[in-house]
Amino acid sequence: MILKIYDFLFEKVLDKLWKICFGSGFGIYLINLLKSNILFWQLLSIVLLFLLMMTVYLLNKMLHQNKTYRLNSPMIFSYNDLCIKINRILYENNKIFQHNAPFLNPNCTGQEETTNWHTLEETIINPNNKKILNLIEDNYNLIPSSDKDLFIKMKQHIHSFNEVINNRNELAEEGISFDYSNNRFPKDFESLIKEKIKMVNIKYINDITKFIKNSFKKNSINASKIYIYGSLLEDYVEIIQDVDLLIFSSVNDKKNIIEQSKKLQHVTQLFRKKFKKDLHIQFFSQNEENEFNNFISKLNNKEIT
Partner 1 sequence: MTKPHYREGIRFFEKILDETVTVVKFNQIPNDNWLLYHISRSNELNDFNILFIDEYNITVEKYYEYSDLLSKGDFIYQMGNWQFITQEAFLTAKNDGILIGKANVLKKILYEIF
Q: Which residues contact partner 1 by CB under 8 A?
A: 99, 105, 107, 254, 257-258, 260-261, 265, 282-285, 287-288, 291, 295
In angstroms, the first-to-last Cα distance of the chain is 59
What is the closest distance, in whole angstroms, from the C-beta atom of residue 285 to partner 1 in the complex? 6
**Going by C-beta distance under 8 Å and a sequence separation of 6 or more, which residues neighbour residue 168?**
118
What is the closest distance, in whole angstroms, from the C-beta atom of residue 169 to partner 1 in the complex? 27
What is the closest distance, in whole angstroms, from the C-beta atom of residue 114 to partner 1 in the complex? 15
Residue 67 or 95: which CB sits closer to partner 1?
95
Q: For the sheet containing 301-304, what is the strand order? A: 278-284, 242-248, 225-229, 301-304
How many angstroms separate the CA atoms of 202 and 195, rounded? Answer: 10
Residue 4 or 273: which CB sits closer to partner 1?
273
**CB-CB contact of 244 with 221 (8 Å):** no
What is the closest distance, in whole angstroms, from the C-beta atom of residue 108 to partner 1 in the complex? 10
How many angstroms separate the CA atoms of 48 and 264, rounded? Answer: 53
Residue 137 or 288: which CB sits closer to partner 1?
288
Radius of gyration of the chain (CA): 26
Residue 102 or 150: which CB sits closer to partner 1?
102
Residue 167 or 300: which CB sits closer to partner 1?
300
What is the closest distance, in whole angstroms, from the C-beta atom of residue 190 to partner 1 in the complex? 21
